[in-house]
Structure 1
Amino acid sequence: MIRNIIRLSILALLVSCGDDGPPPAPQGALLVFPEENSECTTGTDINQTSTQVTFRWMASDNTDTYTLSVVNLDSNVPQNISTASTSASLTITKGTPFAWSVTSRNSESDQVASSETWLFYNAGSQTTYAPFPAQLENPQSGATVQPDIANEVLLEWSGADVDNDIAYFEVFFSETNPPTTSVGLTNASTMELPVGVVSGTVYYWRVVTTDLEGNTSDSGVFDFKAL
């Protein structure tokens, strides 16, 4: 009897020791520098067209490594670098808009966590900058969308400018890619526009941002299908 009790106690101990639960998931990092919607002027000159910029972020919980992603918004070409540190340096083009973000990883977990995405201009010889390309938010590209009772879908985006002088947004929307039909202008504080749709049709849309100096930027094209 005592022997059986000992066996059961050892078995219970082994089970409890082996049931530690899933490994903790990493948390998203808080970005520090370059600041959001800013002009980065602190890079180290590499040549006439490039500077080396050091990106910094706060340490996040349950994280072993970070992957820094920096996307050239003119070409949509990304640069990625992995590090165990909370900073990393990349050589990037002068006078160009970029988006950057950080992905947190834990070697014991399959989950990852993403930071916010911040936009900035890498300083060049310009005295005025084009607006950042509008970031299309809804509908997501490739989505299938249920129109409202008026058979309309609300297009939503976000926009920003280093000089803070956006004049207006122009929305292009059609069944052809790229869309060339202008369906409306909105002011700097209005970043949504309803459009009429027909069920079963695929639509393409983009937003061109214009500032008070006449500088423009293009969001690129998203598509969605109306139910």
Structure 2
Amino acid sequence: MRVVILLFCFCSVLLLGCKKKSTPKSPEAALLVFPDKDSECTTGRDLNDTTSEVEFKWMASDHTESYELRVTNLNSNITQTTITKSTSAKLPIAKGEPFSWLVRSKNTNVNETATSSTWNFYNAGSITTYVPFPAQLVNPQNGASLFKDINNEITLEWTAADLDDDIIGFDIYFSTENPPEILEASLASTKREETVSVGSNNTYYWKVVTKDAEGNSSDSGVFAFKVL
């Protein structure tokens, strides 16, 4: 009997030793909470006449050790970053300026990261009229490779927002040259897509300029895609 027990213990040790370690899981994307998307942030703590400290908040994401907050001034294109293990972080940012922000979830056990959606907002200041937020290019995504349809066409899609709610139209620039300088179409404010003609084995560049009733405009930046 003693021999049987010893043999059983020996086999158990072998099985435990051979058990495969679980593979670390990649972090998941965080859900943004505040500042709200396409809003004016009025809760910043005044630091001086030109700057206030804003607290950014998001939901905890699974399999995440730390978060990288990235806040970009849409006028200067300057990005501030900070890393935290919390689900909030504070940054000093300029008053009366438009910003975008996102959060990257990280885990030291894996190389992959997960990126949240990107939200735009204005930090409150003394301005009385707001430039439209840059249009967000939705489709085709930047760097995409795709096939044209049966009519040799592809549909460009975007979203747009303005705190004043006075967008009057969009200028669509589309070309095989970067940056695109050919005005493909000028569209009414109700439009959020435009169909363009394309050819196979070409790379195309496009952007959207959003215009409002006060004479303000914003540039989406350039996206590129390849037609197979």
Structure 1 length-normalised TM: 0.89
Runs of at least 4 residues of structure 1 off by over 6 A?
none
Number of equivalenced pairs: 225
The 5-angstrom pairing of residues 1-227 of structure 1 reads 2=4, 3-16=6-19, 19-227=20-228
Secondary structure at the residue paired with 1:12? helix
What one-letter code is carried by the residue in structure 2 that aligns with 1:58?
Answer: M
What one-letter code is carried by the residue in structure 1 that aligns with 2:18?
Answer: V
Give ranges in structure 1 of 5+ residues lacking alignment.
none
Secondary structure at the residue paired with 1:7? helix
C-alpha deviations, 1:53-72, integer Å up to 9, x for none?
11112222332211101112
**Alpha-carbon separation, structure 1, partners of 2:222 and 2:157:** 13
Residues 116/224 of structure 1: CA separation in 2 closer, same or farther (3 Å cut): closer
**Alpha-carbon separation, structure 1, partners of 2:150 and 2:63:** 46
C-alpha deviations, 1:142-181, integer Å up to 9, x for none?
3333211111121111111112222212211123333222
Residues 8/151 of structure 1: CA separation in 2 closer, same or farther (3 Å cut): same
**Alpha-carbon separation, structure 2, partners of 1:120 and 1:24:** 32
Secondary structure at the residue paired with 1:210? strand
**Alpha-carbon separation, structure 2, partners of 1:171 and 1:127:** 28
Structure 2 length-normalised TM: 0.88
**Alpha-carbon separation, structure 1, partners of 2:184 and 2:168:** 17
Percent identical residues: 52
**Alpha-carbon separation, structure 2, partners of 1:65 and 1:154:** 38
Larger deviation, residues 95-104 vs 2-11:
2-11
**Alpha-carbon separation, structure 1, partners of 2:26 and 2:204:** 38
**Alpha-carbon separation, structure 2, partners of 1:119 and 1:135:** 10
Larger deviation, residues 145-154 vs 39-48:
39-48
Post-superposition shift, 1:37? 0.4
**Alpha-carbon separation, structure 2, partners of 1:25 and 1:172:** 38
Larger deviation, residues 73-82 vs 136-145:
136-145
Give ranges in structure 2 of 5+ residues lacking alignment.
none
**Alpha-carbon separation, structure 2, partners of 1:112 and 1:7:** 42
**Alpha-carbon separation, structure 1, partners of 2:181 and 2:49:** 36
Secondary structure at the residue paired with 1:110? coil
Secondary structure at the residue paired with 2:157? strand
Post-superposition shift, 1:189? 3.6
Residues 212/225 of structure 1: CA separation in 2 closer, same or farther (3 Å cut): same
**Alpha-carbon separation, structure 2, partners of 1:204 and 1:105:** 32
Post-superposition shift, 1:50? 2.2
Post-superposition shift, 1:76? 2.6
RMSD in angstroms over aligned alpha carbons? 2.0
